[in-house]
């Protein structure tokens, strides 16, 4: 049984407390299907989130099978499922693959046969078995909602659905309501569904009507119009507006025993007629009422490693099935190094050295010295430019790698975290996947350019700094992606970050002395450029130093600063991944 006792959820507005949920009290037995309805802004979703634990109650208490959730801890992931009102699914996966991944992430199975049995059960319960091999992207609206709302939630003891029929045609809406009704009848599950629609109310066991956060009614569908003294359900909302919500609440508290008695009689009839499946255990007496207590062994959650491998495998599968993303990555891999190579001829020119030949006149010596200096300036400028070009392009690759990686699937992440997915496993899967991209992009850039312009120094050091700058920008942008609420905001901020790399690096124009110490620590491009320049051989390093007013740092300092950038990005990613962000 789920029970609410004077539950409140309060926010502060202009310094004043406002109860979005105000002293809500109700009892919901096992095997019950309840609709939560009411005018817009009445607190339907807020109440559902409070029951789910996403909104901590400000007052009152929630009870589950005699356990005070406020004191004894939240429901276990296998006990509760929350289905938000937005559509979330990976279009690149099939129905079967979506259910398989959801099952692997929530349940520790006893082998492949156990896994297959659980998957088949979910597909059968949701009616998705005949289309199990279809890609999600070709499903109809109703089929996709079945998968998103039910198939990937692995029906738990308490299923909370928020506007799951929104945007569907009448037939699909009725099919979803029928499905939720059937799920509530199996194994004594409780299903609570927030809905804006007053259609198909006859399929619900009870209707909860909210008005300004207060309970105005909670009873059977057939008694709804009688209670509000209207001819049809469409007139309920106008009737609500005729008096204050507190009066409706007081009226309901006065009449609720009669309506709850009717609910209990209906429930007993369902049990007697075999329409409601309850566990075979004896009933225990809790708070004066008979409620069935589930004594089945709790579902064990998979370990961190199992979740990590499932998430990584899913990410790889999605990547290789996304033709647009694969083609974009190939285009970047081919075009960016070619852009660098276009500037390689000037950097390949040899620098003349001052010979100081005997017998040459002062004018000849002066002219030779001028020619040597001109060569040094030309080649030094070309070498500096080609190194910085590689660095900036790899920074852009890093931004493209990670800017949308978490923000673009934030709602899927939140739903899966609610179902027991570890943020550590999720972040680890992202880091390993992105590390593969970083290594391929950076080493290919270094190797391809080396074919046309041989690095005039330690190629190994140069390659390491290219890997580090890509990894640093990827890590920082992953942190941005995890902290932003939308993929668009994350992408925009990441692009701005890359745009500042070149002008603030000091590689082109030296920064003012009062600005340089403030900006340099945050510019990954400077540290990669400086580290690569420091790896050049003596003549080329001297030539580059001669044309640049920007002070160079040692390779060790550059290496450690870039590592710090990577660590900061990962720390930000962890904070953003762990923090709940349900709403856009």
Structure tokens at 351: 């620098």
Structure tokens at 396: 């852009």
Q: Any idea what DSSP says for residue 110?
A: S
Lowest mean pLDDT among 207-211, 323-327, 421-425, 517-521: 517-521
pLDDT digits (tens, 9 = 90+) for 195-232: 988 888 988 999 999 999 999 999 999 999 999 999 98
Chain CA centroid to CA 403, Å: 12
Give the separation between CA 310 and CA 299, rounded to whole angstroms: 18
pLDDT band at 354 (very low <50, low <70, confident <90, very high): very low
3-class DSSP string for 302-317: CCHHHHHHHHHHHHHH
pLDDT digits (tens, 9 = 90+) for 562-577: 999 999 999 999 999 9
Taken in order of first residue, the domains within the chain and their CATH numbers are 2-84+158-291 (3.40.50.300), 90-151 (no CATH), 304-578 (no CATH)
Q: Any idea what DSSP says for residue 511?
A: P
Give the separation between CA 304 and CA 312, rounded to whole angstroms: 12
Q: Any idea what DSSP says for residue 151?
A: I
Q: Of 176, 152, 151, which Cα lies nearest the Cα of 163?
A: 176
Q: What share of the chain is helix, strand, coil (3-state, %, to 5)?
A: 60, 15, 30
Chain CA centroid to CA 419, Å: 13
3-class DSSP string for 259-304: HHHHHHHHHHHHHHCCCCCCCCCCCEEECCEEECCCCCCCCCCCCH
Q: What percent of the chain has pLDDT over 70?
A: 87
Q: What does pTM read for this prediction?
A: 0.86
CB atoms within 10 A of CB 417: 16
Strand, coil or helix: what is 384?
A: helix
pLDDT band at 154 (very low <50, low <70, confident <90, very high): low
Give the separation between CA 389 and CA 347, rounded to whole angstroms: 13
CB 205 within 8 A of CB 195: no
pLDDT digits (tens, 9 = 90+) for 77-123: 878 888 887 666 889 999 999 999 988 998 888 888 988 988 888 88
pLDDT at 463 over 50: yes
Average pLDDT over residues 546-559: 81
Structure confidence at residue 553 (pLDDT): 85
Give how far Cα 469 sits from Cα of 73, 431, 550, 561, Å.
44, 15, 19, 10
Quote the Cα angle for 131-176-128, to 5°.
Answer: 15
Structure tokens at 484: 């932003």
Structure tokens at 257: 């025993």
């Amino acid at each position: 049984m789920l029970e609410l006792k004077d539950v409140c959820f309060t926010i502060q507005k202009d310094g004043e407390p406002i109860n979005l949920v105000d002293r809500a009290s109700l009892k919901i037995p096992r095997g019950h299907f309840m609709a939560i309805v009411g005018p817009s802004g009445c607190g339907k979703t807020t109440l559902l989130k409070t029951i789910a634990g996403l909104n901590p109650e400000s007052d009152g208490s929630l009870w589950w099978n005699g356990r005070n959730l406020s004191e004894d801890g939240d429901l276990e992931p296998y006990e509760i499922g929350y289905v938000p009102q937005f559509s979330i699914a990976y279009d690149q996966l099939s129905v079967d693959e979506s259910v398989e991944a959801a099952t692997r992430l929530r349940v520790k199975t006893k082998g492949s046969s156990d896994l297959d049995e659980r998957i088949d059960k979910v597909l059968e319960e949701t009616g998705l078995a005949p289309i199990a091999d279809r890609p999600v992207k070709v499903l109809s609206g109703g089929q996709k909602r079945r998968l998103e709302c039910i198939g990937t939630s692995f029906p738990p003891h308490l299923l909370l659905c928020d506007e799951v029929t929104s945007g569907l045609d009448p037939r699909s809406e009725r099919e979803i309501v029928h499905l939720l009704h059937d799920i509530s009848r199996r194994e004594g599950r409780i299903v609570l569904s927030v809905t804006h629609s007053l259609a198909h109310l006859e399929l619900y066991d009870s209707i909860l009507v909210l008005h300004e956060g207060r309970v105005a009614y909670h009873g059977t569908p057939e008694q709804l119009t009688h209670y509000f003294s209207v001819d049809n359900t469409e007139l309920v909302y106008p009737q609500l507006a005729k008096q204050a919500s507190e009066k409706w609440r007081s009226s309901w508290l006065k009449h609720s025993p009669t309506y709850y008695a009717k609910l209990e009689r209906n429930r007993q009839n369902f049990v007697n007629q075999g329409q409601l499946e309850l566990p075979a255990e004896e009933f225990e007496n809790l708070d004066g009422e008979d409620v069935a207590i589930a004594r089945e062994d709790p579902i064990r959650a998979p370990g961190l490693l199992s979740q990590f491998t499932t998430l990584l495998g899913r990410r790889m599968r999605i990547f290789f099935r996304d033709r647009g993303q694969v083609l974009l990555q190939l285009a970047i891999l081919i075009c960016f190094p070619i852009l660098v190579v276009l500037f390689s001829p000037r950097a390949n020119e040899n620098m003349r050295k001052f010979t100081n030949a005997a017998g040459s006149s002062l004018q000849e010596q002066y002219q030779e010295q001028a020619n040597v200096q001109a060569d040094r300036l030309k080649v030094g400028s070309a070498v500096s430019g080609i190194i910085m070009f590689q660095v900036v392009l790899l920074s852009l690759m890093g931004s493209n790698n990670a800017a949308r990686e978490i923000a673009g699937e934030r709602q899927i992440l939140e739903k899966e975290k609610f179902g027991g997915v570890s943020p550590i496993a999720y972040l680890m899967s992202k880091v390993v996947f992105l590390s593969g991209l970083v290594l391929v992009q950076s080493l290919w850039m270094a190797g391809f350019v080396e074919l046309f312009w041989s690095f005039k120094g330690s190629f190994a050091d140069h390659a390491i700094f290219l890997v580090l700058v890509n990894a640093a920008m990827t890590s920082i942008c992953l942190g941005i992606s995890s902290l932003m609420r939308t993929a668009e905001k994350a992408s925009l901020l990441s692009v701005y970050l890359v745009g500042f790399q070149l002008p603030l690096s000091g590689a082109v124009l030296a920064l003012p002395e009062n600005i340089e110490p403030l900006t340099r620590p945050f510019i990954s491009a400077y540290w990669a450029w400086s580290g690569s320049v420091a790896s050049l051989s003596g003549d080329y390093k001297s030539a580059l130093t001669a044309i640049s007013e920007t002070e160079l740092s040692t390779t060790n300092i550059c290496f450690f600063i870039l590592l710090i950038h990577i660590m900061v990005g990962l720390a930000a990613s962890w904070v953003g991944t762990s923090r709940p962000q349900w709403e856009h």
